[in-house]
Amino acid sequence: MQPDKLEQYRPIFFPEAIAVLGVSGEEANAGARFYTSLLKAGFQGNVYAVNPRGGEIDGRPLYPSVSSIPHPVDTVIIAIPAMHVPTVLEECAKKGVKVAQIYTAGFSESGTEEGRRLEAVIVEKARQNGILIVGPNCMGVYSPARRLPYGMSNYAGEVGSIGFLSQSGGLGGMLMDMGVMRGLKFSKAVSFGNGTMLDSVDYLDYFAADPATTVVGAYLEGMRNGARFLESAIRVARKKPLVLWRGGRTEVGAKCAVSHTGSLAGPDALWSALAQQAGAVRVFSLEEVVDTLLAFQVLERDPGNRLAFVSGLTGGGGGIGVSASDAFCSRGLQLPAFSAETRERLTRLLPPAGTVTHNPLDVGGQTIPMESLFQCFLAVVQDPAVDFLVFHERTGFFMQPAYTARVEAVNDLLITLKQTQDKPVVVISPAGTAENERLSTGKKLIQAGIPVFSTLEGAAAALRNVNDYWAAKKNPEARIQNSE
């Protein structure tokens, strides 16, 4: 994508003024919810509400038409019946609108001849007048740098480096919710629905060129042109990680995709082949998308595939060690044996009863002094056979009265460890009774460059995905072999 294209797409992600069409005083009205969300999120631009009846909404003018707004408007959000959209686009053209984000459904995804006809009409009118269409049948754009919230969410999170495109508005919203809670930070995201004018390849090309985006994720249900999609995916993956989640892999799922966004999903083997050729990482669930994007966001380089697993501080050391061995090794990661020197250091630091000094390491309970625990961490990461450390931490256990003071102390040790040596540190923090404390602690660790996962299996899959991407990047002849 040339620099002029980046500028052409600027009103999509950095609009100066937005008019929301279809606003009414009804609380459940879609237009009103879009309008309110822009105001509550602190959108850094002008916002106007439009309804043919005119009047006011919350003490602000309700304009009868786009043309009646006495100020420039570069983007409109359209939440009116599909039959009226062509006429509105003509009015938007006269106003000089550059982008039409069409929330309205009832176009080609409806499967009706009238829906297909209406979609063809709006595309033709938009092209004739230089208007870019986002959608239709979509939740639209998320741009935290502009305080532009995702859909009707009322919230714009911290600015980050993840770009995300989604054919599904609902799954896009779930990703935003789950991702922001887990510490993901987005540069931009877009739900494009039917993608009648701009589809996945256009947004992939944009994110490939966007200097603010270093990791790209995508949820897709179909593609129009496999060759063009492959070219775009290659452009992204050569520069930055591309994480691809394809919906409609099964026969039933493919039928749902047609009625959802009008997409023809295509055989799953084709998607696997395209992902492998492009060097993209395929994932298979919302949770794996979030875990993998988080790993790429926090780990600035290939972490390697040899890990040391440390548990036992919050109970269950033996069983957790066995489970961790299964989870990581089944994903092609390794738990190498510690050197004799490392085991000697650990033996001096740990009590003789209830501990295990090989990999996975069991530190034997809550009585170990903090300085001894830190020295154990240090001994492990200094072992030449170890690429990174994984620590298992049950925040709920720490919330017991006898141990509440230790959770901050342990996490401070992990942060110090991350800051004083160059091997990655990873934390497994399973969900439990202390969710607020767990999420708060997790965000602190993520801010310090330590990814936090809620399950062993999620961490193993994400770390394998990161390894696969870097392996393919180092060896273009290699093929990413990730599978469900």
How far, CA to CA in Å, does 194 sit from each of 27, 120, 121, 440?
27, 12, 14, 37
Mean pLDDT, rounded, for 292-319: 88
Closest CA to 66 of 83, 45, 49, 86: 49
What does residue 372 show for φ and ψ, rounded to 5 degrees? -65, -40
Give CATH for domain 140-298: 3.40.50.261
Instruction: Look at 178-192, 293-307, 359-373 and tell me which has the smallest mean pLDDT.
Output: 359-373
The predicted pLDDT at position 483 comes to 44
The predicted pLDDT at position 405 comes to 66
Domains 3-134 and 307-453 share a fold: yes
The predicted pLDDT at position 328 comes to 97
What are the sequence ranges of the domains in the chain? 3-134, 140-298, 307-453
The predicted pLDDT at position 313 comes to 80
Q: C-alpha 1: how far from its chain's center?
A: 23
The predicted pLDDT at position 404 comes to 61
Task: Indicate if the pLDDT at residue 1 is higher than 90.
Answer: no
* Edge-to-edge strands, sheet with 60-63: 56-57, 60-63, 46-50, 17-21, 75-78, 99-102, 132-134
The predicted pLDDT at position 316 comes to 64
Which CATH number applies to 307-453: 3.40.50.720, 3.40.50.261, 1.10.10.1800, 1.10.10.10?
3.40.50.261
Provide the mean pLDDT of the chain.
90
Instruction: Looking at mean pLDDT, say which of 27-31, 254-258, 278-282, 368-372 comes out highest.
Output: 278-282
Confidence of residue 208 (pLDDT cuts 50, 70, 90): very high
DSSP line for 434-460: -HHHHHHHHHHHHHTT--EES-HHHHH
The predicted pLDDT at position 155 comes to 86
Identify which has the larger pLDDT, 137 or 254.
Answer: 137
Confidence of residue 257 (pLDDT cuts 50, 70, 90): very low
Instruction: Look at 94-98, 276-280, 385-389, 455-459 and tell me which has the smallest mean pLDDT.
Output: 276-280
What's the topology of domain 3-134?
A: Rossmann fold (3.40.50)
DSSP conformational letter for 83:
G
- d(CA 392, CA 452) in angstroms, rounded, equals 10
In three-state secondary structure terms, 433 is: coil
Task: Indicate if the pLDDT at residue 482 is higher than 50.
Answer: no
Task: Indicate if the pLDDT at residue 81 is higher than 50.
Answer: yes
Write out pLDDT tens, residues 434-452.
Answer: 777 778 888 889 999 999 9
**Residue whose structure tokens are 């959608």:** 135
DSSP conformational letter for 305:
S
Write out pLDDT tens, residues 209-245.
Answer: 999 999 999 999 988 888 999 999 999 999 999 999 9
Mean pLDDT, rounded, for 393-404: 65
The predicted pLDDT at position 253 comes to 45
- Strand ranges for 22-72 from DSSP E: 46-50, 56-57, 60-63
**Residue whose structure tokens are 């399950």:** 455
- CA atoms within 13 A of residue 365's CA, in its CB half-sphere: 7
Alpha helices in 306-403 (DSSP H): 317-329, 340-349, 370-381, 395-398
Task: Indicate if the pLDDT at residue 288 is higher than 50.
Answer: yes
Q: Is 155 exposed, middle or buried (0-12, 13-18, 19+ CB in 10 A)?
A: middle
Instruction: Look at 46-50, 255-259, 452-456 and tell me which has the smallest mean pLDDT.
Output: 255-259
